Chains A and B, each alone.
Chain A
Amino acid sequence: MSMIAALRSGLDVMMAKDDNVIVYGEDVGYFGGVFRVTEGLQAKYGKTRCFDAPISEAGIVGTAIGMAAYGLRPAVEIQFADYVYPAYDQIVSELARLRHRSAGDFFAPITIRMPCGGGIYGGQTHSQSPEAVFTHVSGLRTVMPSNPYDAKGLLIASMECDDPVIFLEPKRLYNGPFDGHHDKPVVPWSKHDMGRVSEGYYQVPLDKAAVFRPGKAVTVLAYGTMVWVAEAAARESGIDAEIIDLRSLWPLDLDAIVTSVQKTGRCVVVHEATRTSGFGAELVALVQEHCFYQLEAPIERVTGWDTPYPHAQEWAYFPGPARVAEALKRTVEA
């Protein structure tokens, strides 16, 4: 399955399993979503389970909170992560805080899906990676898969979780893995092991990272598209990097990170998002706090530049395998 089909399958499984699961968002109903993730769900489950929403992100999230307070489990879609900001008040002030402020009287088990990330000539408002504006918010869980198998299993786990989950989907990975070599044709998920996804119910647990590539020389902390870029960088540079796919950004799997860095003594953090106050800063701080005495070199960060996401300069902006490989070299040679 492609990541799109895997996500669709995850929604399908959950809608079949639980009558309280409701799916809506802009163009999500009849049309099946601008990325086809919800295709066929309205025909299968009816208009009261899967429906189109007005173009209002705050309305989508705000109504979902009310539905969840009633007892439903909405899985809503924001068309692009770049457009989530109008819903930020509802997400930060309401969704994230509801259980705490009411001491458990009310809570909202909502999953907010949103396509994120660049590498698609999306320009400023179709490429952003806003994970740091969610990981900073207490009460939220932020999740990002890197392959179809995880996408389905993490989506099901997110929808079954009683905490609100920001579910970021790297749209660059929707149809196939992408290692940053934009000049080469993309191989579809059907030709990849991780495209093997079963039809039925399964979960990939939240708060658990995966060792994407075992290695000894340096630990790479990555998620989403950058997992594949890091893998290409390790392969092409011949550096035996251990790549950790975080999968759950926050709360995260600290043990997996610490175990790896204590073994390798070196760490490179890679993300597409802008650098300053990005999620990488938190990862660097955690590694520094927990692995200081094992570190053999300064912790490196390879990230998007501190600029809005450009259009024509896409590949100068996107942290590709060459930039990651340079950081790996600097780190192992330090």
Chain B
Amino acid sequence: MSLLHLAIILPFVVAIIIPIIYKWTKKIHTGWLVLPVPIILFIYFLSFIPKTMNGSTVETFQWIPRYGINFTVVVDGLSLLFALLITGIGSLVVFYSIYYLGKNKERLNNFYAFLMIFMTAMLGVVLSDNLIVLYLFWELTSISSFLLIGYWYHRERSRYGARKSMMITVFGGLMMLGGFIMLHIMTDSFSIREILAASEAISQNALFIPAMILILLGAFTKSAQVPFHIWLPDAMEAPTPVSAYLHSATMVKAGIYVVARFTPLFALSPIWFWTIAIVGTTTLLWGSINATKKNDLKAILAYSTISQLGLIMTLLGIGAASLHFDNLSDDIYVLAIVAAVFHLFNHATFKGSLFMMVGIIDHETGTRDIRRLGGLMRIMPITATIAFIGTFAMAGLPPFNGFLSKEMFLESLLNLTKLNLWNADTWGILLLIVGFIASVFTFTYSMIIFFKTFTGKQKAYLLPKKPHEAPFGLLLSPAILAFLVLFIGIFPNVIAAPILEPAVKSIVPSLATNADFHIHIGLWHGITPALLMTVGIVILGTILYKTHRFWKPFITTRVPKKLRIGKSYDKGMSYLEQGSYRFTMTVMTGWLRTYLNYMLFAFIVLVLGSLILTDSLNLKFENLTSVTLVDFVLAAVILVTLIGIVFSKSRITSIILLGAMGYTISIFFVIARAPDLALTQLIIETISVVLYLLVFYHLPQFSNIEEKPRFFSVKTFLSIGIGITITLVALSAYDTTFYDSISQYYIDNTYKEAAGKNIVNVILVDFRGFDTLFETTVLAIASIGIFTMIKLRLTKRRDKNENQ
């Protein structure tokens, strides 16, 4: 157990301790006690920067070595970037939540325990090298996120959102587990590094594509890609710090992480490239269009998160092309990876600050509805500044960091049209157009967020609270993030060498050995096509914003109704519930006769089917004994009694006929020279007939058997089927004597070994006395059962007690 392992486990340990401390420290806000944890971790992970610039750090802790499942932690560029985001934004969110959540109103112990579990889970996901451990932490993020979304569990919407996100992300998680197991089958290893090293060999395997699709399903569900994005808007029912942390900066990027992590392996296939690029751009467009129609600030941000995740996903898809070029000078597609990593970082900063800004507005005005907000710039100047930086960075305007990554995004799309691989040069233009349109909508909703909230007329009469500027504590975290947005926007190269470069190198392994590879992000690099596109985006976006109220009804009312995926989820769930309910109600009728029919039918199908399919129907009549007249007579008697039983209309007749049949069988035993059996059969038949008469004497009179048994019913067919099946099996089994009977041994040894002459009895009590032992036990149990059933009448006694 190294320090790194302890670092991952630390928040979890704190999560265990929090509820205990919470009881004793009612005076202090629990958040203050939690705050040091992410800060310490952040500083600790900062110390890895020099190491990851030159290579990766690996620590192993043996967990289940027998199955190759070890808690191996690897810190390379990609993991470190994520770890820094998780701990850094984690610290800010914890600080923010101290001021956001009231000390006495909320169950803080739950909140911080869930949050810390989530932090451990997230660190575990990004730092694990072992697939199974990764999956473990992956599910832990789903569970802790479920708990956090449902934090205000008394609200119906919260519970709905939590359940929805759980269903979708766990579905994806399970798919991903399937993919991981396939990877293990192909490589016999759970270690990601070993699997990536064997990528060339795996890519020819038949399981390669299924594994890829399953892992992508996991990544898409977690990262809210179309059509799995529907859980994210509903997850906005969580407290705002949670939304800021989980649903903008960290958890939704877990899918991005997995895609980036497996890029060196799966990028060898064009399916990977196209799937990610198409799903990414679709998500980008879908999210940005939907964001413009929402009235709730948080919903706009949720859709904008979806859209931005789609953007990063697209970039990773395009970046997959870079693995197909060895010559670096040709390799303009690494730029896409750089852009993805850079935008990942940027998005975490500005989206975090925007969520916190929305939280402040919600906190100070009591609403998040943009129709009721407006003109807050005067009242909340600092919040407005933060919002300005965040929204303009999101829209992709200089001098903020969003501008740089958006430029790189557009350039990557432009490069795509030049890609001479997989028909990308012909179809890539479509992606470029979609990306451009989505960027226009992105610009539009960013403007909506800022201008509708902070400019225009003030509608104080619509606000539940009298608005005022937020306290310092609430403002600090978003201010730090906004400062980062601005700072990185102006000095992007500060993070280029220490953080982005190692991250890109771990996504594109061929660069790792290349000493010449350096990222340089220029704020100004001449009038490029990308810049011109940005100008176009700004112009078109402004027009769209100005005409927003004209076209908004169109997309809210007409278009989405057919395309609303959330609706089909709800419908699907209710169909699933109703369908299974209906299925159960039709199949499980509660009638024993129905179940008996099922069983008999299954028996016929299975036995007769296997008899025919395995060609074991074997009707030979060679070793038969001769049949005498007595046999015929007895068989005829049995047949007659049988028909009588089936068609008799009175119970007494049936019972007597049953007795007659039993006696005939005992005569059969006599003929077959089985005196013991004949004796026993006679007496048992007598006793059972007596018992039948006793029992049936107490039954109510016949009334329901009056109905004539229909001849052609399911029952008839099943009975005939069973009869035929058993007969065929018996006849087929009759002649197949593979071995001599063992009875000769008994004949020889009954007297010699067991000192008896009645073979049957000697077998019963001596050779195979064990069976007899338990048959007597069965009898004893039966008698005690009858005794208790008749004597023990608890309900009656209780009634008596109640009457007294």
The answer to whether A and B come from one shared complex is no
B-binding residues in A (CB < 8 A) = none
Q: Which residues of B contact A (CB under 8 A)?
A: none
